[in-house]
Amino acid sequence: MPRRHDPDRRRRIIDAAIRVVRRAGIAGLSHRTVAAEADVPLGSTTYHFATLDELMVAALRQSGEGFCRVVAAREGLTDPGGDLAGELAAALGEWLAAGRAGAELEYELYLAALRRPALRPVAAGWADDLAALLAPRTDPLTARALVALMDGICLHVLLTGGSYDEEYAREALARMIP
Amino acid sequence: MPRRHDPDRRRRIIDAAIRVVRRAGIAGLSHRTVAAEADVPLGSTTYHFATLDELMVAALRQSGEGFCRVVAAREGLTDPGGDLAGELAAALGEWLAAGRAGAELEYELYLAALRRPALRPVAAGWADDLAALLAPRTDPLTARALVALMDGICLHVLLTGGSYDEEYAREALARMIP
DNA sequence: AGGCGATGTGTACGCGCGTACACATGGCTC
DNA sequence: GAGCCATGTGTACGCGCGTACACATCGCCT
C-alpha cells in the first residue's frame, strides 16, 4: 500500500546505503540490503539506481565531505601566522577520534575507486577540495604533498589498527612545509 | 582421472588466486573462480583454504613483497651518501611503471585489510619491512613518515588515474629527511 | 602387508544476488 | 477530466556463491 509520492525517496536510499556500508562494508552493499535498510521495496532501489556503481557514487558524494568539513571548520587554518602543521594534525586527530566507523566508511568508499573508474572523479575531486583548502597557505606542490601525507598516515592508522600519534603527524607535516 | 599427489597444489592455488585478483579484483575472488583458474576441482580449494580470508592472507603474503623487492634492489639506498629521496622516488616510479595491474593487485590486497582484521598483521608487517629497509639511513620517525608519504603518493596516482610525477615525489620525500 | 590419516574429488543444498518485467498509481499538462 | 509519463510495487528467473559431506586414493608408519 503505497506511500505514493515520496519526494526524497532518493535521499533516503542514499542514507540507507551509507549506513549499510558503515555496518557491513562495500561487500555487504546490494540493492536488497539497501532496500531493507531504507524500508522500501526492492524495485524502488533498482529504479532510482540502476547499478550499484551509481549508488556508490551518490554515497561517496554525500559522505565524502566529512573530513573536508572538519578541516574547513578549523579557524586556525585561515590565520596566516597559525601553525598549519599543528592544525592539520589536530584535524586528523579529531576526525579519527570520531570513531573508526566514520573514518572507515569514508575511506572504504574512497578506496573503492581503485577498482571502480566510476568513482575516480569523485575521489579525485575530494583530494582536490582538500588541497584547495590548503591553497591560501602554501604553494600547490606543498598542498598536494600534505594531502598525500595525511592520506598515508590515515591509511597506516586504519590498516594496522594502531592508534593515532598526533605529535608524530605534526612533526611530519611540519617538515613538508618549506 | 586423478592427478594424485600434487605436491605444490597449495602454491598453485595461491598463484591462481593472485591472477584472479589481478584480473577481476577481490570482488571476483571465490573458491570457484580460483579453482577454475588453477584447474583443480572446487573441493580442492576449500580443502586447502577453508575460508577466503585464509586464501587472501596467503596471496597477500606472497605478492606483497613486490615493492619491498624493488626498493631493496636499489643499490643506491645502501650508499650512506646517496640521494635517499631520489632513490625512493625512482623505486616508486619503477614499481608503478611495471604497469597499473601489478600495483593495483598489491594495493588492493593491502587495502583489503581495512575491513578484514585477518589481513592487518600482514599489511602492517609489509609497512614495517619497508621501514626496516630505510632504518640504516634515517631515524625511525622519518622512516615511518617516508613510508606514509610513499603510500599516499601511490594512492593518489592509482585513485585518480593520473600519471606519476617523479620530480614532485623526490622533492616531497626530500623534505621529509631532516 | 596392513591400515590409517592426509589429501583429492564429485555432487548437492539453500541462499542472496542482479535483472527483468508486468502492473498500479499518482502528478502534471493540455 | 483525459491521458501520459514518471514513479512505485511485486514477483519470478537463472546464476554463482559458501558449505557440507560421502567417497576415492595415496603416502607413510608399524
* DSSP labels, chain A: ------TTHHHHHHHHHHHHHHHH-GGG--HHHHHHHHT--HHHHHHH-SSHHHHHHHHHHHHTHHHHHHHHH-GGGT-TTS-HHHHHHHHHHHHHHT-HHHHHHHHHHHHGGGT-GGGHHHHHHHHHHHHHHHGGGS-HHHHHHHHHHHHHHHHHHHHH-----HHHHHHHHHHH--
**Helix H or strand E segment including B141:** helix B140-160
pLDDT score of B143 more than 90: yes
Q: A9-61 and A64-176 share one CATH topology?
A: no
Could you tell me the distance in Å between the CA of residue B105 and the C1' of nucleotide D27?
37
pLDDT: which is higher, B133 or B80? B133
Residue among B66, B74, B110, B98 nearest B164 (CA): B98
> What average pLDDT does chain B have?
92
Please give the pLDDT value at position A129.
92
A15 touches chain B (CB under 8 A): no
pLDDT tens digits along B25-77? 999 999 999 999 999 999 999 999 999 999 999 999 998 777 888 899 887 88
- Percent of chain B at pLDDT exceeding 70: 97
CA distances from B134 to A33, A137, A150, A162, B87 (A): 46, 31, 20, 21, 11
Between A98 and B170, the more confident residue is: B170
**Which of B114, B145, B150 faces A172 most closely, judged by CB atoms?**
B145
pLDDT for A5: 66
pLDDT at B5: 64
What's the confidence (pLDDT) of residue B6? 72
Residue B129 has pLDDT above 70, yes or no: yes
Residue B150: is its pLDDT beyond 90? yes
> Does any CB of chain A come closer than 8 Å to the CB of residue B123?
yes
- Beta carbons of B175 and A176 less than 8 Å apart: yes
Residue type, B174: A
C-alpha B130/C-alpha B143 separation (Å) is 8
Yes or no: say if B53 and B71 are a contact pair by the CB < 8 Å rule.
no
Question: How far, in Å, are A58, A69, A72, A91 from residue A130 at the CA level?
Answer: 19, 9, 9, 12
Interface test with A, best of B29, B114, B141, B163 (most A CBs within 10 A): B114
pLDDT < 50 regions, chain A: 1-2
Cell readout for B128 is 614495517
Give the number of C-alpha atoms closer than 13 A to the C-alpha of residue B138, restricted to the C-beta side.
Answer: 23
Q: What is the CATH number of domain B64-176?
A: 1.10.357.10
CATH topology of domain A9-61: Arc Repressor Mutant, subunit A (1.10.10)
What's the confidence (pLDDT) of residue A1? 45
Confirm if B173 and B93 have CB atoms less than 8 A apart.
no
A113 interaction partners in chain B (CB closer than 8 Å): 159
Cell numbers describing residue B56: 587472501
And the C-alpha cell for A152? 598515508
Residue B172 contacts residue B153 (beta carbons within 8 Å): yes
Euclidean distance between CA atoms B135 and B84, whole angstroms: 12
* Domain locations along chain A: 9-61, 64-176
